[in-house]
């Protein structure tokens, strides 16, 4: 492959996997326990991306007064326990994503995963759904003292991979991913079927794909500029 990327970094939730059903179930579990109304999955989709604590804060803010910081700590632990136990009950790999990972691996392109999900949850999800072996490095939201949209989350992932920012591509679904890539000086591909609250074209990624069938054409076009 001529002018192939030096590395490709993928986001997880909303990019490689559709985890909204399981995240919704976990959030509604703690909401029910607190006697709060449940939230529809389509609404929860737009709350995902900043980590579990942020999801809980957004969820509880939807239905009334925000609990105290101490109460949120307890709710977070209950959420994590439930989610860890049920993390892949309804989570699926987005259509075409597995084929893309297989072909990229066969091409010898280093792959990294950079998500704001905690590393413990990430490893369990990736292992159970069968994606772990495709990645040279897997980084979570608690792997460093910073997380997306801080560009150091991506650049630190690349450092662990032994790859440079030059000719690397970030693949994500939200402002956190695209902003981090832009600040890092990286090329970005945004999927249109993820959890972004903002229309993806407004994020100004270098390419947008509507299905993973479009991935390699987008990658090839971007690589012409490398």
| Active site residue ranges | 11
Q: Which residues contact 129 (CB under 8 A, 6 or more apart)?
A: 17, 88, 91, 93
Please tell me the distance from the alpha carbon of residue 88 to that of residue 129, in angstroms, as a whole number: 7
Q: Which residue has the tokens 């192939």?
A: 4
CB 96 within 8 A of CB 211: yes
| Alpha carbon 191 to chain centroid, angstroms | 11
Beta strands 168-172 and 187-191 are parallel
Show the tokens assigned to 33.
């326990």
Show the tokens assigned to 65.
């007064």
Q: Based on C-alpha coordinates, what's the Rg of the chain?
A: 17
What residues are paired with 53 via a beta bridge? none
Please tell me the distance from the alpha carbon of residue 134 to that of residue 124, in angstroms, as a whole number: 15
Q: Which residue has the tokens 């249109």?
A: 192
**Helical H segments across the chain, by residue range:** 20-33, 41-45, 52-62, 69-85, 97-106, 119-129, 151-161, 175-184, 215-223
């Amino acid at each position: 492959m001529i002018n192939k990327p030096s590395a490709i970094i993928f986001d997880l939730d909303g990019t490689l996997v559709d985890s909204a059903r399981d995240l919704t179930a976990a959030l509604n579990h703690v909401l029910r326990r607190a006697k709060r109304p449940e939230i529809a999955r389509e609404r929860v989709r737009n709350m995902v991306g900043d980590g579990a604590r942020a999801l809980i804060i957004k969820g509880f803010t939807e239905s009334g007064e925000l609990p105290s910081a101490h109460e949120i700590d307890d709710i977070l632990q209950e959420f994590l326990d439930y989610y860890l136990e049920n993390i892949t009950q309804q989570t699926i790999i987005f259509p075409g994503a597995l084929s893309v990972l297989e072909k990229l691996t066969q091409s010898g392109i280093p792959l990294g995963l950079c998500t704001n999900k905690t590393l413990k949850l990430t490893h369990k999800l990736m292992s159970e759904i069968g994606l772990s072996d495709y990645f040279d490095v897997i980084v979570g939201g608690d792997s460093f003292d910073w997380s997306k949209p801080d560009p150091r989350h991506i650049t630190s992932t690349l450092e662990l991979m032994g790859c440079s920012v030059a000719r690397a591509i970030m693949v994500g679904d939200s402002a956190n991913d695209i902003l981090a890539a832009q600040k890092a000086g990286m090329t970005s591909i945004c999927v249109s079927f993820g959890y972004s609250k903002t229309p993806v074209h407004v994020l100004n990624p270098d390419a947008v794909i509507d299905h993973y069938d479009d991935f390699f054409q987008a990658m090839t076009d971007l690589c012409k500029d490398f």
